[in-house]
């Protein structure tokens, strides 16, 4: 059984991921001839950490690990190899619950529904649109050499999962990928066995109609029911630890893209009136505007410290109207400009 993760206000505001995913990455790198012992040592991933289902690492650290592995192997499509080597158990009890579901559609829906058990990203959460047989991975723009593989590995792992539960290899109708082509279109289409559109509006898989409805080869009703109960229990335990402020932050962060979400928008997503949300936040000693500012502050610090994202892109990701507004806020928070702070941090690495 996996151990519940903390509420979505982790030490790294950009999010955390289970080391199960790091283990998959290292398996894929080893298959490509990388020195994985050196990689693990460089990223402080000892055997005790990698062997713990409860251990987590920050999203930026995971992306740097992937970038280093790609640099060692020279395989820019390492995410596809990760997907090929992913097993249902690598998603913890969510993977086992999905594997035992009655149909392929129910299997992938179960896996995605409990994704929070192994990954919490400030950018959003994956989703399923059953009517369209579509499985969506959220946007992680802006794209660069550090995060292409993340999209590849998620979409490939979902594809491999569907192949696993159906026993079929040609399971997809279409794949769309948000980032632009990196010149490996034929390799991607050969791996996914369907058309792949780069520069698309979303990261998503569309599953073939007959495959969506197909019974799972590992279907086991009693075990599925028991595992879903365990997943629900752990998910409830996670969410029970969230304050109203935590829930607001969880909804707020993915919406901070070029704009500031309103109190009314967040209240609507929580299913309460705006005045009710104001009252609940006041009872916790905070206000909506303070939460927005605090969320931006923590995200800004981690973008500057953990990533090479440009300052203009960070300003957009945090919902500022323009880069000067971001610079002004950063000086208010930390007493230094974001560019100067990044230089200081790099000098001490």
CA distance 14 to 34: 28
How many CB atoms neighbour CB 321 within 10 A?
12
3-class SS of residue 78: helix
Check: CB of residue 83 under 8 Å from CB of residue 155: yes
Contact (CB, 8 A) for 165 and 100: no
> Could you give phi then psi for residue 172, rounded to 5 degrees?
-110, 150
**What is the SS3 assignment for 169?**
coil
**Cβ count near 9 (within 10 Å):** 17
Q: DSSP for 288-303, please give it.
A: HHHHHHHHHHHHHHHH
Confidence (pLDDT) at 5? 40
Q: What is the pLDDT of residue 214?
A: 95
Q: What is the pLDDT at residue 4?
A: 40
What pLDDT does 6 receive?
A: 38
DSSP per position, 188-224:
HHHHHTS-EEES-SSEEEEE-HHHHHSBPTT--HHHH
What residue spans of the chain are helical by DSSP H? 19-31, 36-42, 47-50, 59-73, 78-84, 92-99, 104-113, 148-166, 185-192, 209-213, 221-240, 244-252, 263-270, 274-283, 288-306, 311-317, 323-334, 338-348
d(CA 158, CA 84): 10
The per-residue b/e assignment along 80-95, b for 16 or more CB within 10 angstroms, e otherwise, is: bbbbbbbebebbbbbb
Supply 271's token pair.
């299913």
Backbone dihedral region for residue 113 (phi beyond 0: left; psi -120 to 50: alpha; all else: beta): alpha
Each of the 349 residues of the chain gets a pLDDT tens digit; together they read 444 443 444 456 788 999 999 999 999 999 999 999 999 999 999 988 888 878 899 999 999 999 999 999 999 999 999 999 999 999 999 999 999 999 999 999 999 999 999 988 888 899 999 999 999 999 998 898 899 999 999 999 999 999 999 999 999 999 999 999 999 999 999 999 999 999 999 999 999 999 999 999 999 999 999 999 999 999 888 777 788 988 898 888 888 888 899 999 999 989 999 999 999 999 999 999 999 999 999 999 988 988 888 999 999 999 998 999 999 999 999 999 999 999 888 777 6
Closest by CA to 66, choosing from 92, 95, 94, 27, is: 27
DSSP one-letter code for 51: T
**In this predicted structure, what is the pLDDT of residue 215?**
96
Torsion of CA 125, 129, 130, 132, to 10 degrees: -150
Instruction: Name the strand (E) or helix (H) holding 15.
Output: strand 15-18
- pLDDT value for 1: 43
The partner residues of 207 in beta bridges, in order of sequence, read: 172
């Amino acid at each position: 059984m996996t151990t519940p993760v903390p509420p979505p206000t982790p030490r790294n505001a950009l999010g955390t991921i289970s080391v199960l995913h790091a283990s998959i990455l290292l398996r894929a790198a080893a298959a490509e001839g990388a020195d994985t012992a050196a990689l693990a040592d460089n990223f402080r991933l000892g055997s005790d950490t990698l062997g713990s289902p409860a251990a987590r690492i920050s999203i930026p650290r995971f992306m740097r690990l992937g970038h280093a592995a790609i640099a060692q192997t020279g395989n820019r499509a390492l995410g596809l190899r990760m997907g090929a080597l992913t097993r249902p158990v690598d998603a913890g009890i969510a993977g086992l619950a999905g594997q035992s579901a009655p149909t392929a559609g129910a299997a992938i829906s179960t896996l995605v529904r409990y994704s929070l058990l192994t990954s919490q990203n400030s950018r959003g959460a994956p989703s399923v649109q059953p009517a369209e047989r579509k499985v969506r991975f959220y946007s992680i723009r802006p794209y660069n050499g550090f995060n292409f593989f993340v999209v590849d590995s998620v979409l490939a792992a979902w594809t491999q999962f569907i192949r696993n539960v159906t026993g079929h290899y040609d399971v997809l109708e279409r794949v769309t990928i948000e980032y632009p082509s990196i010149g490996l279109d034929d390799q991607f289409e050969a791996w996914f066995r369907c058309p792949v559109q780069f520069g698309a509006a979303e990261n998503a898989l569309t599953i073939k109609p007959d495959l969506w409805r197909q019974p799972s080869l590992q279907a086991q009703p009693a075990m599925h029911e028991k595992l879903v109960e365990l997943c629900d229990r752990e998910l409830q335990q996670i969410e029970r630890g969230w304050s109203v402020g935590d829930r607001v932050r969880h909804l707020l962060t993915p919406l901070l893209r070029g704009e500031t979400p309103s109190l009314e928008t967040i209240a609507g997503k929580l299913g309460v009136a705006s005045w009710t949300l104001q009252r609940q936040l006041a009872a916790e000693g905070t206000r909506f505007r303070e939460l927005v500012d605090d969320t931006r502050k923590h995200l800004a610090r981690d973008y500057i410290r953990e990533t090479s994202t440009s300052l203009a892109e960070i300003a957009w990701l945090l919902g500022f109207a323009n880069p000067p507004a971001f610079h002004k806020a950063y000086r208010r928070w930390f007493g230094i400009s974001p560019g100067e702070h990044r230089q200081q941090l790099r000098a001490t690495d």
